[in-house]
Structure 1
Amino acid sequence: MRLTRFLVSAPALAAPLTLLVAGCVAPPSAPAPRPAPAPRPAPVPPAEPAQPAAVEWQYRPATPGNWTYRADPAGPVALFGESASAPRLTLRCDRATRRISLGRAGGGQGAITVRTSYGASSWPAVIAGTQVPQLTAVRGASDAVLDQLAYSRGRFALEVQGQETLIVPAWAEISRVIEECRG
């Protein structure tokens, strides 16, 4: 009977013993040491402020002023500026030679670069005028570049080294001087 009691109670004892034996398992090993963090790179110094992109001449504001047409015995003249008495730009026809001169007030040196919606061209120029110096370029009245001035999309630009760029409207006075000089 003793043996029977033992066999009957043995499974009841086996469960707690199993838990005790399972608790005797070695504790988990300590976690592996972490590698030292990589050194941080030195901070990048802030970049210099970006220079604003150069605005193309078509998108710059127009130079203040208006065109004025004047009939002259030697040939028609178109003047651009805030007043006709002090023009910043002169387009003059010499009927005798059938040549058109483009004069920019203020002097300068080298050439006048003319930019139209058709492209850019360089006009060789010289200083002319005694009272008010002008950098002057001369073209034949039949020169196709003059048509580019007259038919440029609303405006054209004149650049001279050392002076501000003139952004000038392409008004009818230009066409009138060119056509009368050709005619």
Structure 2
Amino acid sequence: MRVLPVLSVLLVLAAVTGCIPQRPAPPPTVAAPPVIVAAPPPAPPAADWRDRPFTPGTWTYRQDARGSIALFGQAGQDAAATLRCDRGARLLYLSRTGSVAAPLTIRTTSTTRTAAVQPTGGTPPYVALALAARDPLLDAMAFSRGRFTLEQAGTRPLVLPAWAEIGRVIEDCRA
């Protein structure tokens, strides 16, 4: 007998909830197309070369049968710049990637020099200039305050750190 009142309460509750209007289901949402934001153009180089960011990469040093070489670049890529000692000729070759034969300007904290370059004929292409082992420009590069640049019309300037690998190659040629 007690079941009957409970059952009738449940029936009344079911009837009342059936009378409550149901909210209509919201319409399906359509995802907005992704917003594609173009990368901002690179900032123009700083007016003062000493304020420009370094070119990405590091210097590495190695020796071979001709002498020694310092290579600057990123792992897995061709070197952006090299300084090679040809011990037999007592010459150092400063080179950078590219095939533009325009003069190369080397800026250090104490010296700025513009010099003619020649294509090396290799793959990938490089242009290079030869420097005598005692050329003061080499010391200016090795002892420049933190950085030096290689600038050439038609190419991106290279802002290179003045690390010990440069001095090691220079000393190898002077020894």
Q: Give the TM-score normalised by the residue count of structure 2.
A: 0.72
Q: Does 1:113 align with 2:88?
A: no
Offset from partner CA, 1:143-167 (integer Å, 9 cap, x none): 0110000000010000011001100
Q: Which residue number in structure 2 is paired with residue 139 of structure 1?
A: 131
Residues 1-183 of structure 1 correspond to what in structure 2 (within 5 A)? Answer: 54-83=46-75, 86-183=78-175
Change beyond 3 A, Cα 1:127–1:121? same
2:75 aligns to what SS in structure 1? coil
Distance 1:120 1:84 in 2: 31
Output the amino acid matched with 2:145.
R
- Unpaired runs of 5+ residues, structure 2, are 1-43
8 Å Cα contact 1:157-1:166 kept in structure 2: yes
Fraction of identical pairs, as percent: 45
Which amino acid in 2 is paired with 1:107? S
Which sits farther off after the overlay, 90-99 or 126-135?
126-135
Q: Deviation at 1:85?
A: 5.1
Tell me the distance in 1 between the aligned counterparts of 2:108 and 2:155.
18
Q: Distance in 2 between matches of 1:88 and 1:71?
A: 18
TM-score (normalizing by structure 1): 0.69
Q: What is the letter of the counterpart of residue 83 of structure 2?
A: L
1:107 CA drift (Å) = 1.8
Secondary structure class of the residue paired with 1:76: strand
* Number of residues of Structure 1 aligned to a counterpart in Structure 2: 132
Secondary structure of the structure 1 residue equivalent to 2:165: helix
Q: Distance in 2 between matches of 1:69 and 1:91?
A: 10
For the aligned residues, what is the CA RMSD? Answer: 1.6
